Structure 1
Amino acid sequence: MKDEKDTFYLVRGDFLPEAMKKTLQVKKDMERGKATSIYEAVQKVGLSRSAFYKYRDAVFPFQAIQQTKIITLFFHLEDRSGTLSHLLDMVAKTGGNILTIHQSIPLNGKANVTLSLDIENLKMDLDELLKRLKQHQFIEKVDVLGSGA
């Protein structure tokens, strides 16, 4: 069975819970400079910061997703020789163009890696790529941090 975190849905706005609608408004206000901090933006729309943080990486306006071809992924990797190289090779073979890479210093046998990818020429859908990445023994966790143009 597919993990719900890897499944995306298109939902009409009037079906969204109020907290999700307000989260979208906070993101919009921040992008347009109508608020200088998340605290200010959530106060303005009447949303708790915890609700904003709960939904901020899970709800996006359809236009933003439709136009975006860049995604940021966060990985927890085992610290073994060649793991980063193998990960990059896997992404490249699926048509993902790696734009940025950030790797933390390995601690306790684990390393965190953040990749920003151009997925315009991806040879499979994003859900399938995430599923394949999660199947590899050296990848402990994959999270979608966000997407943007």
Structure 2
Amino acid sequence: MPKQEEVFYLIRADILPESITKTIEAKKLLESGEAETVHEAVDKVGLSRSAYYKYKDGIFPFNSMMREMIITVSMNLEHRSGILSRVLSFVADRGGNVLTINQTIPLQGMANVALSIDTGNLQLPTSEFLDELQDLDGVKRAVIVGRG
């Protein structure tokens, strides 16, 4: 079955339903660190968690659409044969496109690798992508250190 094309609209914020604007507010609280959990963020803005989860992956501030397409992920990888290859295959299998790779020389059995990844065709939300990446054998730490 072919992937359905996404359609986007530019809509003035003052005509959006309250649940949509509150979802955006909750996302901002989470991104800025003013709220540590979804529960805390939705409580602060007066929104149900179910409404948040219903809309969170489909609404973004206009200026963040392009910025969020490229992320930089910093990882600590075990110094074993095939680990970096496994990471690169994982990124490609999920629809990501590696733009740059920077790796330090391994010290004490660990190397730091930074990947810039185009996430425009990613097949899952960035947070799930990061969680799955961190679960790969040989990946000791993976965090997003930059967007844009």
TM tier, smaller: 0.5 to 0.7
Partners of 1:64 and 1:91 lie apart in 2 by 25
The CA deviation at 1:62 is 4.0
Residues 64 and 103 (structure 1), Cα distance of their counterparts in 2 relative to 1, 3 Å cut: farther
Partners of 1:147 and 1:76 lie apart in 2 by 19
Residues 107 and 90 (structure 1), Cα distance of their counterparts in 2 relative to 1, 3 Å cut: same
Number of the residue aligned with 1:138: 138
**1:34-81 deviations in Å (ceiling 9; x for gaps):** xxxxxxxxxxxxxxxxxxxxxxxxxxx944432221110000010000
Partners of 2:112 and 2:138 lie apart in 1 by 12
Partners of 1:90 and 1:76 lie apart in 2 by 16
Say whether the 8 Å CA contact 1:73–1:144 is kept in structure 2: yes
Number of the residue aligned with 1:129: 129
Q: Percent identity?
A: 40
Aligned match for 1:11, one of 1, 25, 49: 25
Listed as ranges, the gaps of 5+ residues in structure 2 are: 1-22, 34-59
Number of the residue aligned with 2:115: 115
Q: How does 1:66-81 map to 2 (within 5 A)?
A: 66-68=65-67, 69-81=69-81
Compute the RMSD of aligned alpha carbons: 2.7
Partners of 1:73 and 1:64 lie apart in 2 by 21
The CA deviation at 1:143 is 1.0
**1:2-40 deviations in Å (ceiling 9; x for gaps):** xxxxxxx7327xx97xx98xxxxxxxxxxxxxxxxxxxx
Say whether the 8 Å CA contact 1:95–1:123 is kept in structure 2: yes
Q: How does 1:31-70 map to 2 (within 5 A)?
A: 62-68=61-67, 69-70=69-70
Say whether the 8 Å CA contact 1:77–1:141 is kept in structure 2: yes
Instruction: Give me the TM-score of the superposition, normalised by structure 2.
Output: 0.59
Number of the residue aligned with 1:56: none
Residues paired across the two proteins, number: 98
Letter matched to residue 70 of structure 1: I
Letter matched to residue 24 of structure 2: L
Say whether the 8 Å CA contact 1:65–1:147 is kept in structure 2: no
Q: Partner of 1:141: helix, strand, or coil?
A: strand
Q: Partner of 2:25: helix, strand, or coil?
A: coil
Partners of 1:110 and 1:67 lie apart in 2 by 33
- The question of 1:105 aligning with 2:105 is answered yes
Q: Partner of 1:10: helix, strand, or coil?
A: helix
